[in-house]
Structure 1
């Protein structure tokens, strides 16, 4: 070991305690000097060695900033440099923006360790990789649907920010090693072409997609374009060892494409050229764990830090993307040679008969489905999963609720007793508390009941139910009726011959700010799976988002929605946050930001758990200072509890919680 080797390690401790959210310095023991390096996992003592916690080494330096004696690192857990400098800096930026801790971000960024996988990776690290000439990667031809300038903008270099509209339709690919061909949406095929172009040039690409279905389909598209070892999947559904293996592969010197769900945006990549987020409006990108940073916001932060190309691709852009387009941060790119899918509103194909207008599936939709089934599968999209997800008294229409907890009742299958959707209690012998009636009627029809009705209407036709529980990703080209909930549509090998979009009015009847945008996005994604000569029928909701769907003018609808939100000061025109805790804690936190320009405080109001909650609105320019001041209050609250004293109970811990940019607040 060199005599002048640095022996002071600065680490970030893997703890959610806000008072420890900073770099801590430790002395590297003599036996580990020269072995401990940036990115490695270690264990360090706290409070005079009474506790030992995991940590990541951020840097190793010659001299400490702290003037006193330093505690020593307890143990070197792993020599794999799993925390790169870029991800360490990104974690710090995301935590600061969200008033959270870097440790919480790293918990999302770095997967669980597999010792056996890691040992094998360390053994072969740095060994040359032998390749045959046939593994040379061909650069895809520019698609005819975009101009050469647009394609050059997408693939020509770094520091580009693009809102990309993608073509519709389905192409058939036959990945090596698979028996049957697979249908891949052309949107994902285009993303695969973009990624391949960068990888062929020796650069890395990260692609974030909403769920496991998209990971599987994008993987199939990439398998026919790239060698298998250039594709890394960071899918949370994968086994921990497999996920950790692909994570370590991202640390290598060979260019590749990293695909995955929400947290893939944190993947390490030494030559990162492009980050692509597919369908950023999908609520799967909303992080449910602290510090609650949306995948799109992390991608934007990473683009600013590393100067990469950023592509937000979608059929129906989110209102957040539209805002970035309007302020000039994103450049819109759309197909120039493009024929939108044929979508017919139900009111255009039915007469004035009241019965026809009230039907859940109009006769014209029945005819379209019957004709389309002669040549291939037909998709029926419904709003709700289950069999009968909503029940009411047949006499007075009072909602049927559980006798035990008051939750809504539902039917799991035909002939079953009603059960509670909340606690699962069976409510046999239910009686209406208002009129005493004993008969129930359905007020909502789910995918299971719809499939049962269609099976009777189309005898001899295979009926497939696809929802969040079935996990169906793709189907063949044979005729079938596919009844699917929103976002769970399997992709047929050659596209759907027809698509029926049901329950439009019910879908828009929910009380939520994003209801129109969500409906338009779900409808657009389903219609985009049509075969080239297929047609879709939208039942109900012909105006607003329905009209935007029929005209295929989703950006215009997002722009109108953004204008309305600016007038009402709703996100994303402004940023919002919630502050909850005891009344005293919330008051102190609100006092810390009350004097900032543009900050508006709503509340506080009592919350369901006995605490209080306040909502704050603030402009983007004030965001950094709002987050900093609220973080200070979080640390104060966490460290102000009464310390433990012999013979006296410890003071109650802080309940102050801050969440910035919470989804579905209004």
Structure 2
């Protein structure tokens, strides 16, 4: 077989998810494939007796391999879908999260669609430089090189992000914007189309279908389009000459990849900014502790409007929901609304729609004894009881067994109460409290995108709040104790994020807009909402995490495996000097075939790279020896 005359060696990253094989392998390029086997192309190679997929990383004229090189089997496509920048990024991501590049590449490069690949990508028209528009309220334009942006309540974030992306594209650079879900993608897509016109940006979304998504991917890798919008997978989009990476609501847990190596889209974008030197913009109505840490260290500029303007946009009141308040106020017992909240909703309904946020979907999602408050459990599997709908008997939330004749094992009482109510039960109660007012729900599979400006009660779960034409006359936040009571490191941060996202949909104070929180006034998260000071709460949480040696001030990794496996791992694990090992503790994983335990390893932030390297070495060693798998997660969203 005749080899290529120029650069006859191809360095190929094979698609093999074994950690000890996570490196390029050299193959001979036959002369017949010399023109097609370009860097970034998909190829088929012979590896360990099988034909596997791979990507050409580079072509060279030499090899360190002392034996005879195997030739490429074939070039699947000459399209260079793996750009040098993204190839380097996948290596950084794999090292940061102690994973393999083949796993990262599955996130970065979509499956091939041959028919789409044969079509040309039409170059987008030039993007004209936009003016400052709504950014004038923040007193800066152009935007700083690196900024964490606190969006004003009432401001529509999508046109503002679209303007930032358009300004970057007008300078000849590329812009990449990530948002949490498809509803946000649709809003930003519409805003960009209105600002710059059609055909000047692409949307990367899995629900668009393989052909459309691959066409958008190719338009970016070929340089035909400069602006990309998408969800978490878009963080790897091959945007040419990247000038801006932006993200909306970076605290949303949808940005955490559920598949190994579990990277977070925000951190991927920050790695890209470090790699390319591009600008960074992290925006939201709330403030994640990670974003605030960037401000605290001086890495990013704190981009916020003056406090006087914030006070003009949002007025937040607290209606107490303590036992004393409920005993004093008979109305609160029947409608779950303190008198002040009921009065505020009634007044607002005279002028427009009212948004009611409730943390849970469903009807009565948890039940307890009406006499002694003991949680009601299933007699068959001991799961929690619930009422799925009005007029239906209690049933188990786990196994579905009906429990019409339930009696309390503690006191023998047969009465049930619902300490946790879902959106449907909330809508039912509000309908009785405000007769004649239309009640609409938005949750689960029935999510509304928008509602009209006429009076109505809109009951929604967090993240499913529709946008009201002209804003809501009032926003009511129910059952705040439920979000704050979660056994989660991020409970306060996440509660404030969900409340702020809902409260930001209210009309300005001058137009009568008002936010009412039904909760405990002494809560730090509730007080942060009242002051509309998410950065202040994030700063407080950073201080607490610093004292506890938790992210973002430290780097943390969890190792999960059966007890005997983890004991062996702990005995041989080589960690940085300052590392602390906590555990092991049992893990409740109903999907696991055997018992699981977990170790938590934490190191100072400066030792983060060494921790990633140590865990990567662990995975490679165990893979080479064919030892049982250990699940490694670096800086997970939750330690529960």
**Fold agreement, TM-score > 0.5:** yes
Among 351, 356, 362, which residue is 2:329 paired with? 356
User: Is the aligned partner of 1:511 residue 2:487?
Assistant: yes
SS in 1 for 2:82: coil
User: Is the aligned partner of 1:665 residue 2:639?
Assistant: yes
The superposition leaves residues 148-207 of structure 1 with CA deviations (integer Å, 9 ceiling, x where unpaired) of 5x32234xxxxx22111112215xxxxxxxxxxxxxxx2222111111211222322111
SS in 1 for 2:196: coil
Contact 2:354-2:455 within 8 A present in 1 as well: yes
Unaligned runs of 5+ in 2: 589-593
- Give how far 1:326 is off: 1.2
Looking at structure 1, the residues matched to 110 and 123 of structure 2 have their Cα atoms a distance apart, in angstroms, of 26
- Give how far 1:16 is off: 1.7
The residue aligned with 1:217 is 187
The residue aligned with 1:38 is 39
Pick closer, same or farther for the CA change 1:105–1:353 going to 2, 3 Å. closer
SS in 2 for 1:572: coil
Looking at structure 1, the residues matched to 412 and 361 of structure 2 have their Cα atoms a distance apart, in angstroms, of 29
Looking at structure 2, the residues matched to 512 and 295 of structure 1 have their Cα atoms a distance apart, in angstroms, of 21
The residue aligned with 2:629 is 655
Looking at structure 2, the residues matched to 346 and 606 of structure 1 have their Cα atoms a distance apart, in angstroms, of 40
- Which stretch shows the higher mean deviation, 475-484 or 490-499? 475-484
Contact 2:545-2:551 within 8 A present in 1 as well: yes
Pick closer, same or farther for the CA change 1:396–1:110 going to 2, 3 Å. same
Looking at structure 2, the residues matched to 445 and 607 of structure 1 have their Cα atoms a distance apart, in angstroms, of 28
Contact 1:381-1:483 within 8 A present in 2 as well: yes
Looking at structure 1, the residues matched to 581 and 199 of structure 2 have their Cα atoms a distance apart, in angstroms, of 52
TM-score normalized with structure 2 length: 0.92
Looking at structure 2, the residues matched to 583 and 480 of structure 1 have their Cα atoms a distance apart, in angstroms, of 55
Among 539, 551, 562, which residue is 2:518 paired with? 539
User: Is the aligned partner of 1:345 residue 2:318?
Assistant: yes
The residue aligned with 2:591 is none
- Give how far 1:260 is off: 1.2
- Give how far 1:62 is off: 2.1
Contact 1:114-1:240 within 8 A present in 2 as well: yes
Pick closer, same or farther for the CA change 1:422–1:245 going to 2, 3 Å. farther
- Which stretch shows the higher mean deviation, 539-548 or 328-337? 328-337
The residue aligned with 2:14 is 13
The residue aligned with 1:165 is 150
Looking at structure 2, the residues matched to 276 and 353 of structure 1 have their Cα atoms a distance apart, in angstroms, of 45
Looking at structure 2, the residues matched to 295 and 144 of structure 1 have their Cα atoms a distance apart, in angstroms, of 25
The residue aligned with 1:29 is 30
Looking at structure 2, the residues matched to 3 and 519 of structure 1 have their Cα atoms a distance apart, in angstroms, of 60
SS in 2 for 1:332: strand
- Give how far 1:255 is off: 4.0
Give the alignment of 1:190-269 within 5 angstroms: 190-269=160-239
Give the alignment of 1:516-531 within 5 angstroms: 516-531=492-507
The superposition leaves residues 23-51 of structure 1 with CA deviations (integer Å, 9 ceiling, x where unpaired) of 1111223321211111111121111xx31
- Give how far 1:588 is off: 5.0
The residue aligned with 2:614 is 629
User: Is the aligned partner of 1:564 residue 2:544?
Assistant: yes
Looking at structure 2, the residues matched to 449 and 321 of structure 1 have their Cα atoms a distance apart, in angstroms, of 37
Question: How many correspondences in the alignment?
Answer: 624
The residue aligned with 1:55 is 54
Give the alignment of 1:568-579 within 5 angstroms: 568-579=548-559
Looking at structure 2, the residues matched to 488 and 452 of structure 1 have their Cα atoms a distance apart, in angstroms, of 18
Contact 1:13-1:55 within 8 A present in 2 as well: yes
SS in 2 for 1:516: helix
Looking at structure 1, the residues matched to 114 and 447 of structure 2 have their Cα atoms a distance apart, in angstroms, of 30
User: Is the aligned partner of 1:75 residue 2:74?
Assistant: yes
Contact 1:145-1:338 within 8 A present in 2 as well: no
The superposition leaves residues 69-108 of structure 1 with CA deviations (integer Å, 9 ceiling, x where unpaired) of 1222222222222111101100100100111011111111
Give the alignment of 1:318-467 within 5 angstroms: 318-336=288-306, 338-340=309-311, 341-347=314-320, 354-356=327-329, 360-467=336-443
- Give how far 1:529 is off: 0.6
- Give how far 1:581 is off: 2.7
The residue aligned with 2:582 is 602
Pick closer, same or farther for the CA change 1:611–1:380 going to 2, 3 Å. closer
Pick closer, same or farther for the CA change 1:446–1:605 going to 2, 3 Å. closer
Contact 1:634-1:657 within 8 A present in 2 as well: no
Looking at structure 2, the residues matched to 27 and 419 of structure 1 have their Cα atoms a distance apart, in angstroms, of 65
Looking at structure 2, the residues matched to 505 and 528 of structure 1 have their Cα atoms a distance apart, in angstroms, of 20
Contact 2:3-2:30 within 8 A present in 1 as well: no
Pick closer, same or farther for the CA change 1:610–1:27 going to 2, 3 Å. same
TM-score normalized with structure 1 length: 0.88
The superposition leaves residues 291-338 of structure 1 with CA deviations (integer Å, 9 ceiling, x where unpaired) of 111111111100000000011112221111112211111121112362
Contact 1:593-1:599 within 8 A present in 2 as well: no
Contact 2:496-2:526 within 8 A present in 1 as well: yes
Pick closer, same or farther for the CA change 1:602–1:29 going to 2, 3 Å. same
Among 490, 512, 528, which residue is 1:548 paired with? 528
Looking at structure 1, the residues matched to 147 and 42 of structure 2 have their Cα atoms a distance apart, in angstroms, of 37
The superposition leaves residues 323-355 of structure 1 with CA deviations (integer Å, 9 ceiling, x where unpaired) of 22111111211123623311111149x997843
Contact 2:173-2:242 within 8 A present in 1 as well: yes
Contact 1:287-1:295 within 8 A present in 2 as well: yes
Among 275, 283, 287, which residue is 1:317 paired with? 287
Looking at structure 2, the residues matched to 417 and 117 of structure 1 have their Cα atoms a distance apart, in angstroms, of 53
The residue aligned with 1:179 is none
The residue aligned with 1:176 is none
SS in 2 for 1:301: helix
The superposition leaves residues 548-595 of structure 1 with CA deviations (integer Å, 9 ceiling, x where unpaired) of 111111111111111111112222221111123355643454355556
- Give how far 1:248 is off: 1.5
Contact 1:255-1:271 within 8 A present in 2 as well: no
Among 118, 134, 137, which residue is 1:143 paired with? 134
- Give how far 1:506 is off: 2.5
Looking at structure 2, the residues matched to 241 and 375 of structure 1 have their Cα atoms a distance apart, in angstroms, of 46
Looking at structure 1, the residues matched to 210 and 402 of structure 2 have their Cα atoms a distance apart, in angstroms, of 37
Contact 1:168-1:528 within 8 A present in 2 as well: yes
Looking at structure 1, the residues matched to 189 and 380 of structure 2 have their Cα atoms a distance apart, in angstroms, of 46
Among 252, 256, 273, which residue is 1:286 paired with? 256
Pick closer, same or farther for the CA change 1:351–1:390 going to 2, 3 Å. closer
RMSD: 2.5
Pick closer, same or farther for the CA change 1:347–1:223 going to 2, 3 Å. same
SS in 2 for 1:555: helix
Looking at structure 2, the residues matched to 600 and 483 of structure 1 have their Cα atoms a distance apart, in angstroms, of 46
- Give how far 1:441 is off: 2.1
